[in-house]
Chains A and B, each alone.
Chain A
């Protein structure tokens, strides 16, 4: 009942909002502006044609009514969606469909990554309050908050893409760069793994030396020219991931979970010799097959987890499935890396793309197309991610700090639980509750949130619909943009409230 009432109120609010926006857009300038200064001989005909198309002879409220009745057909299932036509006569609903899929592709990945990394950083910063990592995270959060997205995107586009592409032509890392990177990596690992002074310095030293060694090896072998992961590396990574997940989610003392994860890693390492050729084959490389393989991995994970589970089968299943999926991910990465030389050749050496969402008229097999889409995604994703990440890490840190000061955490520690259990099983879950609502609301804002990034990287998404429509004083595409954006926003807001009530029993009762 509550949900229905909320929906009704939101619907009316939305209706009023559409009216406000329509009136504002229709008055935002002269729709015949560019035609008035047109020197061509059939200027008057063009003016008349446009007046006809956009119903400019009617008053603004009348045009609004025409539009809203058209938009109302969208609510009727089965009927077509008439959102009007834009200035060039194209149907707005098809335009919106294409634009929405393009924008979603861009923003979804960026948002998911931002959430995962941001929350991880925020939580670790909260656990190590007042440490170097904490100050660095807080300061960079401030910095990225204050950095306008367009400035950063322009910087990335010009600096990164051009410099990186140039570097790829002769991909060698000189010693000074390798040293600098090694030092940074050492600092990062030391900050992440924490511990007392001695342990931190050991971690820093080991990480720096290893990083330096790896970078020099990669440079000597010219790995960047023909990148790949290779069966050995995949196996090593699979086992490392298994140990990592087991340590994080269950604690290394729970041997059966660890053995389950290791078994999963072993299965994966053996399976790669079948899976990789299978997926590399043109005929078998499709999204459905990849999805099916993913499901198969989860099924095997369930089986292995159940077998090794012991008292807490759920935990074992989760760890095993995650290990399996991540190992599968490494296999996919390997295939894609091995397609890079061909792709680079077809792009004449410009691997990192800066314009558009994909290369137009691109001929290539599945993996080439995947690589093309990914290379066009890299820079815009980084631009969006950094600002989002700043916001998430701040909220995660604040939320985690608040939870860590609660009494029940102190009780848990007093009971003698390991720090890992206290943090992962108790504190983290409770800290996630307000973050979930934030993430839900953020997802709602996602589809309208990339206007500037799309403008800088020339993606044909929702942002372009909006900006072009506004500049040409054409309400229909702008309204199309607004309807989709606001409906998504309202729906996700409601989902956020429901999720909050579901996750936090105190809200339900009050």
Chain B
């Protein structure tokens, strides 16, 4: 099996160099010269490889852009926690209903009987008592985003902790932790989220998010436990232990980085599922409740007005789908990026 030799290594000089030999062979005549290759090879760390594969995944990139745009739009437009935004109107102040609450957003060019690109005073229209619907939708988006990110974070943290402990230590720890997980898995997510939502009613969306996150970790725990179970048998763990590493160090420094791929993908999908769950709960009346808004609550409140004012439905629904879809695409891109065997996207 021939090995490729770098062209600067000594090669017996050929007496005649063919005319079309190219720079490599020609340079080989003159040992010691550096040759210019037509390409360069650079060693890439696994992190770089993953990033490159992710960025080349068109769906994931699109998802990322949409998601970030939504976050920036929602939080900057009406401001958050006292910091004012660039959108003049407030989501909680009633006003007189102008033109039946119709949307003043217009994208039809003037030759198609429109006003050109006009935003107008109430681009998404107004609700029954005259509140600006754009501000309402942005507030709902803010709360939904905050809840789903918080749920994702909490669920991931707890899931990783429990899964790591169960998978690594095995024995009694594992038995106890897994029994608890099994009990919680038996309860369907909607049931437990609804019950917790009813418990948290009136305490605000942060408490709701915390309570849902505290019970959303079961799938992740199982996944992490599976990963740890297989990873702890690998040789590098044995080597680390032989070198005197403590259990904690082995978990954090050695096993966890290897399990990171599955964890990140699962966390992203949890976030996507969380937003659907939260909006569904709010729709049923068991999630975020007045005076806070949520996209699900907006849809359920104005369900009856669909015939005459369909935009009251379409805008919140659009934002829910946009967020969930973009996060799902990001999750899919991450999954492809972390999988070394996939062939769809080249690094």
Cβ A13 vs Cβ B183 within 8 A: yes
B209-253 interface (Cβ within 8 A of A)? none
Minimum C-beta distance from A450 to chain B (A): 10
Minimum C-beta distance from A34 to chain B (A): 14
With A24-B199, A143-B325, A151-B317 as known contacts, state yes or no: A448 contacts B191, CB within 8 Å: yes
- B321 contacts partner chain A, Cβ-Cβ < 8 Å: yes
Cα(A467)–Cα(B188), bound, Å:
14
A27: which B residues are within 8 A, CB to CB? 199
Find the B residue at minimum CB distance from A147.
Answer: B321
| A485: contacting residue among B183, B188, B328, CB under 8 A | B188
Cβ B183 vs Cβ A20 within 8 A: yes
Minimum C-beta distance from B147 to chain A (A): 14
List the 7 closest A-B pairs by CB distance, nearest first: A146-B324, A28-B198, A146-B325, A158-B306, A17-B186, A151-B317, A24-B195
- B190 contacts partner chain A, Cβ-Cβ < 8 Å: yes
- B41 contacts partner chain A, Cβ-Cβ < 8 Å: no
A1-53 interface (Cβ within 8 A of B)? 13-14, 16-17, 20-21, 24-25, 27-29
Find the B residue at minimum CB distance from A130.
Answer: B344
Chain A at the B interface: SS class: helix
Cα(A278)–Cα(B303), bound, Å:
46
- B124 contacts partner chain A, Cβ-Cβ < 8 Å: no
Cα(A158)–Cα(B286), bound, Å:
23
Chain B at the A interface: SS class: helix
Cα(A162)–Cα(B187), bound, Å:
37
Cα(A162)–Cα(B249), bound, Å:
63
With A24-B195, A146-B276 as known contacts, state yes or no: A445 contacts B325, CB within 8 Å: no
- A201 contacts partner chain B, Cβ-Cβ < 8 Å: no
| A486: contacting residue among B186, B276, B325, CB under 8 A | B186
Cβ A28 vs Cβ B199 within 8 A: yes
- B339 contacts partner chain A, Cβ-Cβ < 8 Å: no
With A24-B195, A467-B286 as known contacts, state yes or no: A482 contacts B187, CB within 8 Å: yes
Residue among A448, A470, A481, A486 having the largest count of chain B Cβ atoms under 10 Å: A470
B307: which A residues are within 8 A, CB to CB? 158, 162
Minimum C-beta distance from B97 to chain A (A): 22
24 contacts between A and B (CB under 8 A): A21-B191, A27-B199, A28-B198, A29-B198, A146-B272, A146-B276, A148-B276, A148-B279, A148-B280, A148-B296, A148-B324, A150-B300, A151-B279, A151-B299, A154-B313, A155-B313, A158-B310, A448-B190, A448-B191, A452-B280, A452-B283, A466-B191, A467-B284, A478-B195
Find the A residue at minimum CB distance from B279.
Answer: A148
Find the A residue at minimum CB distance from B306.
Answer: A158
- A189 contacts partner chain B, Cβ-Cβ < 8 Å: no
With A150-B283, A154-B299, A452-B280 as known contacts, state yes or no: A28 contacts B195, CB within 8 Å: yes
Cβ B195 vs Cβ A470 within 8 A: yes
* 10 extra A-B contacts, CB within 8 A, seeds A14-B186, A466-B191: A17-B183, A24-B196, A146-B272, A147-B324, A149-B280, A151-B317, A154-B313, A449-B188, A470-B198, A486-B186
B195: which A residues are within 8 A, CB to CB? 21, 24-25, 28, 470, 478
Contact bitstring B134-172, A, C-beta under 8 A = 1, else 0 = 000000000000000000000000000000000000000
| B320: contacting residue among A29, A148, A485, CB under 8 A | A148
B260-305 interface (Cβ within 8 A of A)? 272, 276, 279-280, 283-286, 296, 299-300, 303
Chain A contacts to B: CB under 8 angstroms = 13-14, 16-17, 20-21, 24-25, 27-29, 142-143, 145-151, 154-155, 158, 162, 445, 448-449, 451-452, 455, 466-467, 470-471, 473, 478, 481-482, 485-486, 489-490
Cβ B317 vs Cβ A155 within 8 A: yes
Cβ B186 vs Cβ A490 within 8 A: yes
Find the A residue at minimum CB distance from B327.
Answer: A146
- B332 contacts partner chain A, Cβ-Cβ < 8 Å: yes
Cβ A150 vs Cβ B183 within 8 A: no
Minimum C-beta distance from B8 to chain A (A): 41
Cβ A20 vs Cβ B187 within 8 A: yes
Cβ B303 vs Cβ A154 within 8 A: yes
B187: which A residues are within 8 A, CB to CB? 17, 20-21, 482, 486
Cα(A65)–Cα(B166), bound, Å:
32
Minimum C-beta distance from B123 to chain A (A): 21
Find the A residue at minimum CB distance from B273.
Answer: A145
| B284: contacting residue among A16, A145, A452, A478, CB under 8 A | A452
| B188: contacting residue among A28, A149, A489, CB under 8 A | A489
- B49 contacts partner chain A, Cβ-Cβ < 8 Å: no
Find the A residue at minimum CB distance from B310.
Answer: A158
